[in-house]
Structure 1
């Protein structure tokens, strides 16, 4: 099998080949009973040529593209991450891909990320370079406005190579599903490999994630390992700090976000409304004798997520959940973070319609492919308000108590 340097998926440390992709392959090969030896090449284009000419059986970290199907086959995905945008620190959060129009975007030549971008956004002005390091250097030297690659790669390189004047400024709505790519000559191995991927346990995946993402899991390190893990943790902390202090609303709502009341009306991390604003809206609705429904839901064991992974990863999970749920909401519906991992939706639908909406949202969260914490489950309670008994704060508190009761009884949905 062949590979090339693509940190932190494939890298050489003290003459030892390691990384997320390498470790997943070792695990799969062991489960499938496949013998192998690595061949490291200089560039990604060399990897493609090795596969195309059947000089190598497979490579460990890529995704499927149409042009490669003529000479290769692909395994199931073993991990998924989004593509992200790196720019100078002076650039604000990029809410919409259209903001990149008429700006030079540096991407790796023949890289999967580049092909995905061109397939979805062919009208952007791409500058093709040999690797992500060159792309970031072009941004640093003002030869390109932005560089694009998969999240862990950009975050790792910004820190390791001290691009202090660069940051991650946005996320592309494209998921990079990391797979093994096999030469068609060796396609007979595909069923074995896919079967082995399916047999990878949650604990085995977490062990690899923790090794390269969460440095708390190992007690003793070499000096190189300490430096590497510190850089990985720092990169994700930077991402979180960017998201905490940047407004997470769509571009069309940017003017509204800049209103002086934004920081008192909205949750600083997620950009949606906070508890105070939600209660004020409920108060107004009850004062006008409106009929409406409340959907309250809570991430199960959210405190354990923060304790096990760290708050920075808990924050990433909250941001991804909010982004997922917002896609299901109508313009006139209110979405608020009540506290921690508890959220509230205020909608004008009543009874059965509100319950159906809540169930759809619950199912979508269950199916969502979260980047860091897998298998997220939420408990939902739904209540329709006709003739309120008590104030808005009482209504929310009673719903919180119902939510706690449902969680104690392991009742994931109550309507």
Structure 2
């Protein structure tokens, strides 16, 4: 027996040795600069063995003048590279590259000037010398920033970058392209005051530290790409969590620039902020932000004229599902039945929340399935038990005790909410409903539980929630309890304008797939796919059914009858000037788009904080100089956190959007509306005294409380109003109007306070 034990130990050691000697795949990473904390996550992934765990032997290559990041990756000279936002240009121009992640959510590239030069704004750069790299692609944010302020290339003397900060100190240039994480540290250490012109402050917010590879590498080695990406993010997480240890590793093993420990510490904390690590955004790449950056590149002429603007599939799908060979074989050699059951908005014929989630699962797994309809959930369970390769999406309680079927991991959890008429208040606790008539859906799985827990509620069972909500609307029932998506769908679909969501209960149900009890392979496949469904994918599906979409058609008959002959006539008239006009128009469009990018809040399409702040200063100066009336309105959405909690961020965002459009269309063309922050907004009213401003605020209050928002409930705002008084400053006006608005908040909300 003892001899057998030693034989087993020797055999296990032999297997371990075999695995240890299994060759690692050699790959290389081309860096965009010399070794420094800018690439700390990669060093940590190597030093801590994260790459090795995945069978990868990684070699880093520092930047030199002969390197072309994109071409090196495409020709497989390097497996991966770390680039800037300029790789978007290469993708737009047809290069087959894939962006895996952006380590830095904001570019550290800025213009640095000495305080003694008195260059505080972009406009101050006119007729000044600016030192930048000759690669315009990598400094496009700087060029966009200057162009947005009306400065042309002729207004600035651009100099080739010497990479010597001493040239700025010795007056050989007026402004120098610099990294926030490097040069400011040197000036701080020498106690030299400086100014920073950051493109981000002007609306040009670019990524940096973008890890990318070729499409070919992704197709040939998808598991390696997935694993390398995971190891890099793991490395960066460790680096930011353990900055001291990471700096010591760089200082002793990767310090080709001979940086001091203090310089590395400064760089580390600056880059941690730019990575938005604390906000949970490490590595994030947003399709909308990528497209905005791409448009700026196109506007400034960096893409080919014939380029069709398309950045689809540029961002790596980190939700790629990796299956074992056994699972892949199972998917390839089996057909499946997907059972569906009519239940709005989860099933709406061939559409609905459930149908869209199943389409996602199919896309991620390539399951070959056809669908069948069943009458109810009970029939579904019995059918699933009989058919091995069958699956059905179902709503379950959080604690699953069913033994005769398998359940997948949950896709999403939905609260049971309470709907009442608009004149009822917010319901904080289900006990408040005691003694009231509440509608519930007959045969809903929650019925026995809720009746047991709340015996003093008078429950009315109905066959459909549409019928139940009609009882609420008519006053025949106090309210209805149902899953939040179901309530929102019917309130909007049936246009119950006098019904709102007044609160949520402690009950919820989870969306899961029900699977044959013996089919563990199918359960594993579906579970893997569920873990890869992103928050954005869930948000897209839910927004689709939680909102009513109105579409209108346009009759173009008169356009063809009148517009076409007129257009032909005008073409003849302007024939000789058409080229010049096109160039002027192109420039105007470019300038307008750059202006919008720098001044408009993306979500609400109102002025952003920076722009409204600038206008505020301008109006105060005019009022003070010429003794003209000037007032402001400061308002905040009441109970917005509750709206977020009940409806989720996506629907809450529609409140901000709809309210902004409502206000914009009901103020004068001479007034200014801007988003001050979160759910707070500021309106500037030139040539307006306090009484007139108060009248305007009351008008906007009434419009808001009577508006039918997509969330199906009343929304109100608290308003503060003040006017410009002698010796007022921007700060004093803001302090006063803020106090007035919060006075309203503390005294019942949905009102106006003016002083």
TM-score, scaled to structure 1: 0.48
Higher relative contact order (CA 8 A, sep 6+): 1
Larger Rg: 2
TM-score, scaled to structure 2: 0.28
